[in-house]
A and B are shown apart, each in its own frame.
Chain A
Amino acid sequence: MTTYLVLAALLLIGILVVQISKSNEYINTLRGEDAELDTDKINGNLWLIFTILFLVGIFWSAWHYSPLFLPESASEHGHWIDLMFNITLVLTGIVFVATQIALGWFSWKYHAKKGKLGFYYPENNKLEMLWTVVPAIVLTLLVVVGLYYWFRITGPASPDARVVEITGKQFNWLVRYPGIDGKLGNSNWKLIDETNSVGMDFNDQKALDDIMPNELHFEVNKEYILKIGSRDVVHDVGLNHFRIKMDAMPGLPTHFKFTPTITTDEMKKKTNNPEFNYEMSCDYLCGKGHSAMKMMVYVDTKDQYEAWLKTQKSFYEIAIKGTPEEAANKLAATSLSAPPKKESTHD
């Protein structure tokens, strides 16, 4: 019922607008040039009003929503990105306000007046030079600063950076930490099955102690290198608070290094939100479950991190290892080659 009422109301408004417009047109045709000059003046005034309301609206709404902008950066390089964002915001903001004011001002001031001609002003090379050189200088500055940070962000990680593997699949994230040996085992997409979700190759001893938790943990102030991949379509590792975004693609591994700087507990205090948690999202459309592809992320103190790590059992131990026969059967069904020798099994 309300739907029909709304539609009827819209139709009435439409008819009203059309009728007013039609009668206006007749009147203005009769009045001729004067009517046109009147509408020129009205529209000129509207430009002035629009420009003022537009700028006021922008500043008010930006101020209103500013607590949500660039949420507190929890990584080292995040501050660099935020700094660059703010520099660019100030510079473009000045240009924005100046040009919008000029546009609104001229649109209002120079509306048509009777018997007046436009000012013949076809070119001025000095002016052209001015607005070629000034933007060029400003942009050079932005490029230089931008690339300085870009190379720092994308530069090599330190040799002792910890490795975490993140694999995207429709529609959740799979993460793998190296076990005690500190090295990720080999994996092969042909080994993937219902259990072995990233296709770990258990012939590789390094794989036997790898852990696959269902949440991400990082130790604060330690450098991490995320090795990112996908087993089906393009996903994107989005870690909003850490200023990280990196595509996850099948057959084409990518990586991103970073250092988390604020623990989850500190962030709860900073944001005044006891429920606060870091989240990892998928930022590239991957299908119907795209918007629910979430994994929780925790930044721990050294003690918290070690305590958490202690509770983790290797994936092999949880999912594959049983009696030696069961393990052999499980692996024979999935593996490319023979199961690991008994003596090589990790403790």
Chain B
Amino acid sequence: MDTTHHGHSEQHLGAAITDHVHYQDTEGKIRYEADHGHHDKDRNKKNFIHHYIFSTDHKMIGKQFLVTGIIWAIIGGGLSNIFRMQLGFPDVPLHFIGAIFGDKWAPDGKMTPDFYNMLITMHGTILVFFVLTAGLSGTFANFLIPLQCGARDMASPVLNMMSYWFFFLAGAVMFTSFFVPSGAAGVSWVFYPPLSAIRSAAVGSETGADLWLISMSFFIVSSLLGGLNYITTILNLRTKGMSMAKLPLTIWALLITAILGLLSFPVLLGAAILLIFDRSMGTSFYLDKIYISGVGAMPHEGGNPILYQHLFWFLGHPEVYIVILPAFGIVSEVLSVNSRKPIFGYRAMILSMLAIAALAFFVWAHHMFVTGLNPFVGSVFVFLTLLIAIPSAIKVFNWITTIWRGNIRYTPAMLFAVGFISLFISGGLTGIFLGNSAIDIQLHDTYFIVAHFHIVMGVAAFFGMFAGVYHWFPKMFGKFMNRTMGFIHFWVTMVGAYCIFWPMHYQGMAGVPRRYYSHGAFETFNKFQGLSEFITIAAVVVFLAQLLFVFNFFYSMYRGKKMTDLNPWKANTIEWTTPIFPGHGNWDGEIPTVHRGPYDYGKDGEDFIPQTIPMRPGETTHHG
């Protein structure tokens, strides 16, 4: 946006050389980036628009992702409360639906099946992509990578800014889609054709689906721009002494996440473009032999609906790790700092994340065991899927060992980190049922799978996000969030989330299918009305507890307890060596040099030894 940018910054090159010594300071390009930071520092301070809106400061962009993510989380979570009303209390009239979306969606306050389908579709899309991908990765990758690696900013700050604005655009299009006459997309977040490909097949497959595809395309661009930046920054802009083996696990997790996204999101873009062709240009990539009642035989021939499912899940499965890996990193960091102990098995933690990431690309067809997949192919996917349980088990045992004999400080962040472990165990173990194709025949597309993924990647990833927000809030805003509200938020959410999702296993074990507007037509499925009511009440309570978090967030931003100590958590990582209000460029003077790993807590009788403290003569090292 600023075309004079490059030429301008050349003038400051000299200053940059004397100012900062980067890890790779033999490369002029890197120095230029460092200088770039300083130049922007002035510019960003100049006015509101540059500081808050079109900022190229990674910290501001991180906060933009966070605030946007919070807004989407309220919308996405709110949608779930509305459709839970249909499942728990179908007879209670909801007149506000008509007031907001139009009376045709809820005549006399009773929502229609089309509206229900729209809600579940948008709930899934918003939470998976806008909140747990952009809101989680976008926030913490942007905020933490330069701060914990020791860089002035991202490798390409302008691309970084564009990453946010593509995300914003994606959100704007998605939001608009709620208010077009045919409503938002209503064909479930996985968007399987032909339902999603043929406009006359469902109301939710009309204009809303076009907008969904356009929005997702913008979103993928955003995610690729961000991901490229994260990888480049982590690999090239680490401060002196910050070898890969001294990186905090948050950064490792974010690096692996970015690589996963970079390799898998383009496949979804391809799938989306082919679907746009099928919808609008008469092609037949996914379509064959279709007759729509009331419309007639469709001209499409020769396509294959399964092709889409392969392409979708080639992203879709890595996507769940894109969601959960940043949470792994944050939780590892928060657990270690607040247990006052090193993370147990730093190397094993990295290797297990790498193993999970590698396997993530070879398990996608476990979503497709009942599509008539060749049984031999299915068996290969069973094997690879269950392999993932091994690195996952390693992580869980390492986390538990990390808190063993610790001196645990229960900040709200720490509570969420420990809660994360509990959820990851509960949700992870049910994956062993679903990954085994024969058992999956019975559990596929029932509430069992809903329970499984909401616990293991939905709520757990949210817990990672909460842990991160409570932990780094002082670094973001120079203030603390209110602890008491944090405790209430945690315990209500912890108990409430289990109350919502645990009973869904029971429904699933009875065979109750998901995505049902009503279970009343089936004698076998219609036995859980009491349980459905209970789940709905729990969902509303948990949602209200999140509003307390949102209140705490914005209230503390202005009125929270001020941060007076540079390093309030007594942490080792170098983001806590920046000023309380770091400017663009992060460190006033030189970027500190790193001498040791990030987890020297309780070592040699000292509570903590920051990464910037040189190794003492004869000191043993465990991490690289």
Contact = CB atoms under 8 A, between A and B. Distances in A.
Interface of A: 10, 14, 17-18, 20-22, 24-25, 28-29, 36, 39-40, 43-44, 46-47, 50, 54, 58, 61-62, 65, 68-71, 78, 80-81, 84-85, 88-89, 92, 95-96, 99-100, 102-103, 106-107, 110-113, 116-124, 127-128, 131-132, 135-136, 139, 142-143, 146-147, 149-151, 153-155, 169-170, 189-190, 192, 199, 228, 231-234, 236, 238, 240-241, 243-247, 249-255, 275-277, 279, 281-292, 294
A139 B305 contact: no
B203 A122 contact: no
A245 B439 contact: no
Interface string B512-544: 010111110111110110010000000000001
B202 A287 contact: yes
B400 interface: yes
Given A122-B342, A250-B288, A116 B599 contact: no
Given A122-B623, A153-B441, A96 B426 contact: yes
B517 A113 contact: no
Contacts of B604: 120
A252 B373 CA distance: 11
Contact of B425 (A68, A71, A100, A120): A100
12 contacts: A25-B483, A81-B438, A103-B422, A106-B404, A112-B408, A117-B602, A121-B405, A132-B394, A189-B297, A234-B192, A238-B511, A250-B305
B340 A92 contact: no
Interface in B430-449: 430, 432-433, 436-439, 441-442, 444-446
B548 A234 contact: no
B387 interface: yes
A236 B370 contact: yes
B429 interface: yes
Contacts of A116: 407
A40 B401 contact: no
Nearest to B196: A233
Contacts of B400: 99, 102-103, 106
Given A71-B524, A245-B442, A281-B522, A103 B561 contact: no
A22, A275, A279, A285: most-surrounded residue (chain B CB, <10 A) = A285
B277 interface: no
Contact of B379 (A128, A136, A147): A147
A24 B552 CA distance: 14
Contacts of A232: 194, 198, 201, 290-293
Given A150-B438, A192-B297, A249 B407 contact: no
A132 B555 CA distance: 45
B422 A250 contact: no
B523 A287 contact: no
Contacts of A132: 390, 393-394
B348 interface: yes
Interface stretch (B149-157, B323-331, B485-493): B485-493
Nearest to A170: B293
B181 interface: no
Given A25-B561, A250-B194, A128 B433 contact: no
A305 to B, nearest CB: 23
Contacts of A78: 442
B580 interface: no
B197 to A, nearest CB: 9
A190 B340 CA distance: 71
A241 B409 CA distance: 50
Given A47-B418, A150-B438, A246-B372, A69 B506 contact: yes
Nearest to A35: B483
B517 A291 contact: yes
Contact of A117 (B378, B442, B605): B605
Contacts of A153: 438, 441
A335 B188 CA distance: 36
A21 B488 contact: yes
B371 A249 contact: yes
A190 B301 CA distance: 11
B622 A123 contact: yes
A139 B290 contact: no
Nearest to A120: B602
B523 A128 contact: no
B522 A128 contact: no
B438 A84 contact: yes
A233 B445 contact: no
A215 to B, nearest CB: 15
A80 B438 contact: yes
B620 to A, nearest CB: 10
Overall SS of chain A's interface? helix
Nearest to A229: B289
Interface in B162-181: none
A58 B195 CA distance: 38
A124 B293 CA distance: 65
A120 B397 CA distance: 17
B306 interface: yes
B293 A100 contact: no
A66 B530 CA distance: 15
Given A70-B509, A169-B293, A189-B291, A146 B439 contact: yes
B506 A61 contact: yes
B418 A107 contact: yes
Given A25-B484, A112-B409, A147-B379, A122 B622 contact: yes
B415 interface: yes
Nearest to B195: A233
Nearest to A244: B441
B444 A151 contact: no
Nearest to A108: B408
A17 B405 CA distance: 34
B371 A247 contact: yes
3 tightest CB-CB pairs across the interface, nearest first?
A251-B288, A254-B372, A118-B340
Max chain A C-beta neighbours (<10 A), residue from B203, B343, B372, B510: B372
Contacts of B188: 285
Interface stretch (B30-38, B56-64, B495-503): B495-503
A149 B438 contact: yes
Given A118-B407, A121-B344, 17 more contacts: A21-B482, A40-B409, A43-B487, A65-B506, A68-B506, A84-B436, A92-B429, A92-B430, A110-B405, A112-B410, A117-B606, A118-B340, A121-B342, A122-B344, A139-B389, A240-B524, A252-B372
A250 to B, nearest CB: 5
Nearest to B441: A245
B509 A39 contact: no
A255 B524 CA distance: 24
Contacts of B436: 84, 88, 142-143, 146, 150
Given A85-B433, A281-B522, A111 B117 contact: no
B140 interface: no
A62 B451 CA distance: 15
B394 A291 contact: no
A18 B551 CA distance: 9
Interface in B342-394: 342-348, 370-372, 375, 378-379, 382-383, 386-387, 389-390, 393-394
Contacts of B519: 291
Contacts of B403: 103, 106-107, 110
Nearest to A243: B442
B341 A118 contact: yes
B335 to A, nearest CB: 11
B404 A54 contact: no
Contacts of A21: 482, 484-485, 488, 552
Contacts of A100: 422, 425-426
Nearest to B374: A154
B476 interface: no
Contacts of A127: 345, 397, 401
Given A106-B403, A249-B305, A252-B288, A151 B408 contact: no
A132 B602 CA distance: 27
Contacts of B439: 81, 84-85, 88, 146
Contacts of B397: 99, 127, 131
